[in-house]
Structure 1
């Protein structure tokens, strides 16, 4: 990550930075934090900044010096007192949590606080979450946990209650769209990518990615196919969808885009003035809003969210999508 990008995160999340600074200044450092925010809001960059501040040899005005041996090692990602955990495949597994606890409790660390950062904490499986919970309840010595998540409500309530929640707010979506349009991106594509990520750089890359454009088009075709005969919709899944959304991560992105399409439909039905995800599909999605009840739209969105949860299990992805389509077919009722 570039220094310029880090600086932008720090500026955009000035409320978070102020809270961290105040906590440090007052000597009120918690033993566990939950950094909650959309993709691209700088959670990991600020978690590492916080770790650097906590380990700095000579902080000044609640800011790390950036020049001491400790700060330099945090910057180069090789400080021995910091442990980073990421999903192993699609999940964070119990073995990873057990290894973490062993690492946190064994000797060999330098003096000072020990810090562990868990990226995508919502992806902890049940066993991993329960193992972490026990450690959160009985931390040994000066230990600080920083959990990063894009889905706060997917974290176990018992873990939520033991962490200080720090909310990361995304930049103005309208301003991001304006900036992308100024760079030559169409308004429709800009509206879509700014729903996928709050990071302007990533949004620009997605907007210029031919595969993402194909994904976007295919998701909209699925919405259209779901309005047709069930056999046509299932055939679409087996041919067009399955050949494009091969990996779990790709399927998850497709489900996100599908969910956003139905959010657009709900917004049209309710007469809301929010910026849609697919403004170029206004006529089609508005026509669907006239055909579907609120209860069925809600059922559709719940089914998509459930499919996202099942995606991280061992269920066959094509079968998962076929079941989702069947569920959606049942929901297309005329008001």
Structure 2
């Protein structure tokens, strides 16, 4: 990952090193980029640099001092990583973090906290963090990681320096995965889900992911079915497979990508589709739907994703989504 980080996110690394070299360390950063682009690796690199006892050429961490080794092993007392507890990051986690960051540390030097999947903070957790960001105490640096920048509270966004991570070339990723024996269609799908080539290859060989892919495509086909059959499909096939919130979110993402393919087919665009094996079906479906209805369907999926992180019953959410999409089948 370290080598890939320097190769694929050179601009990010140079920016972080420049901030350190010039003594302009921000109190809060937002690392924004697709899953698999190396955000956490970059955050740990920056943490090492800020705490390193003998930085090389005043630019990169030495990787060999006691401080660097402890960051690598996850045992440095001045570095804290917060991850979702279940589906969300909760208020108690943020409160405990702030207590830790504000009390006198066992070691001198800057304190660094990394919030993984910062978009998963519930409202109470986000508001608790916001108060701390507004009035930081001492040498403390926050690094928030997200692949859904728009889901972060604007008030938190405005208090962080945003650093965007570029995804690797999708075409190159597809080529490398296909060379390992994966079909072009599956390679095209998994490279939309993650920008990490290793994770993409793992997903390509995952039977459950293959089942998810097949079920999502069946839901697209369900727009041709009677509404009662479509609702029965949600109850009998979709809900048992997409039980957890994260699985449901992935299913909705794949569904959104399918409709993007349909729009691209209707518009005659040449972009690499997510489902190359479905292009004939998508082409025929695109002729039955107007641009306005396709747009409405995609907006309905995006709204369903937002509601997913609330307390709404997931089966009811999907049933409402299907009813909404059923209305979009129009002859043009």
Pick aligned residue for 2:12 from 13, 16, 25? 16
Match of 1:326 in 2: 323
Q: 2:34 aligns with which of 18, 38, 55?
A: 38
Q: Residue 169 of structure 1: which of 159, 166, 170 is its match?
A: 166
Structure 1 counterpart of 2:129: 132
Match of 1:216 in 2: 213
CA contact under 8 A between 1:34 and 1:163: conserved in structure 2? yes
- Residue 205 of structure 1: which of 197, 202, 207 is its match? 202
For 1:139 and 1:93, the matched residues in 2 are separated by: 20
What secondary structure sits across from 1:291 in the alignment? coil
- TM-score, length basis structure 1: 0.97
* CA–CA separation in structure 1 for the residues paired with 2:89 and 2:208: 28
Conserved? CA contact 1:264–1:277, under 8 Å: yes
| 1:241 Cα deviation from its structure 2 partner | 1.1
Deviations 1:192-221 (A, max 9, x none): 000000000011111111111111111000
Cα offsets for 1:311-331 (capped at 9, x unmatched):
122222211111110111122
- Name which of 181, 188, 191 aligns with 1:191: 188
Q: Deviations over 1:217-241 (max 9, x none)?
A: 1100000012221111001111111
Work out the CA distance in 2 between the residues paired with 1:43 and 1:246. 28
Residues 116-155 of structure 1: CA distance to partner in whole angstroms, max 9, x if unpaired? Answer: 1000011111121111111111000111000000011111
Tell me if the contact between 1:32 and 1:163 (Cα under 8 Å) persists in the aligned partners: yes
> In structure 2, what is the Cα distance between the partners aligned to 1:35 and 1:273?
31
Q: Is contact 1:219–1:257 with CA below 8 Å preserved after alignment?
A: yes
Structure 2 residues without counterparts, runs of 5 or longer: none
Structure-2 separation of matches of 1:162 and 1:305:
26
* Residue equivalent to 2:176: 179
How far apart are the structure 2 equivalents of 1:224 and 1:252? 20
Q: How does 1:1-335 map to 2 (within 5 A)?
A: 5-61=1-57, 62-335=59-332
* Distance in 2 of aligned mates of 1:334 and 1:94: 50
3-state DSSP of counterpart to 2:287: helix
Note if contact 1:307-1:320 (Cα within 8 Å) is conserved in structure 2. Answer: yes
Aligned alpha-carbon RMSD (Å): 1.0
Tell me if structure 2 keeps the 8 A contact 1:10–1:46: no
Distance 1:90 1:305 in 2: 18
Q: Distance in 2 between matches of 1:53 and 1:109?
A: 19
Q: TM-score, normalised by structure 2?
A: 0.97
Query: May I ask how many residue pairs the two structures share in their alignment?
Result: 331
**Deviation of the 1:268 alpha carbon:** 1.1
Structure 1 CA distance for aligned equivalents of residues 105 and 26 of structure 2: 23
2:78, 2:105 within 8 Å by CA — same for their partners in 1?
no
| Whole-angstrom CA distance in 2 between matches of 1:270 and 1:99 | 51
Measured in 2, the distance between the counterparts of 1:244 and 1:132 equals 35
SS class of match (1:145): strand
CA contact (8 A) 2:182 2:204 kept: yes
Instruction: List gaps (5 residues or longer) in structure 1.
Output: none
